[in-house]
Amino acid sequence: MKILVALKRVVDYQVRVQVKPDGSGVAIDGVKMSINPFDEIALEEALRIRDAGKAEEVIAVTIGPQQAMQQLDSGLAMGANRGILVKTDKAIQPLTAARVLAQLVEKEQPGLVLLGKQAIDDDCNQTPQMLAALLDRPQATFASKVEIDGQSATVTREVDAGLETLSVDLPAVISTDLRLNTPRFIKLPDIMKAKSKPREVIELDSLGVESGDHLSYTRYEPPAQRQKGEMVADVPALVAALQAKGLI
Asked whether residue 247 is domain-assigned, the answer is no
* pLDDT at residue 212 is higher than 90: no
Among 38-42, 88-92, 211-215, the minimum mean pLDDT is found in 211-215
Q: What is the pLDDT of residue 217?
A: 83
Question: What band does 220 get if pLDDT is binned at 50, 70 and 90?
Answer: confident
For the chain, the average pLDDT equals 93
Do residues 98 and 137 lie in contact, with contact meaning Cβ atoms separated by under 8 Å?
no
DSSP per position, 191-247 = HHHHTTS-EEEEEGGGGTPPP----------PPPPPPPP---SSHHHHHHHHHHTT-
Domain range for 113: 2-217
Q: What is the pLDDT of residue 40?
A: 97
- The CATH number covering residue 187 comes to 3.40.50.620
* pLDDT at residue 184 is higher than 90: yes
The whole-number average pLDDT for the span 34-48 is 97
Asked whether residue 69 is domain-assigned, the answer is yes
Question: What band does 204 get if pLDDT is binned at 50, 70 and 90?
Answer: very high
**Is the bond leading into 183 cis (omega within 30 degrees of zero)?**
no
Asked whether residue 230 is domain-assigned, the answer is no
pTM of the complete model: 0.86
Rounded Cα distance, 85 and 76, in Å: 12
Rounded Cα distance, 103 and 94, in Å: 14
Q: Which helix (H) or strand (E) holds 71?
A: helix 69-78
Asked whether residue 227 is domain-assigned, the answer is no
User: How many domains does the chain fold into?
Assistant: 1
Q: What is the pLDDT of residue 192?
A: 93
Condensed to tens digits (0 to 9), the pLDDT of residues 14-29 reads 888 888 888 888 888 8
Asked whether residue 96 is domain-assigned, the answer is yes
Cα-based distances in Å from 113 to 30, 61, 98, 99, 173:
32, 11, 12, 14, 5
Asked whether residue 7 is domain-assigned, the answer is yes
Q: What is the pLDDT of residue 189?
A: 92
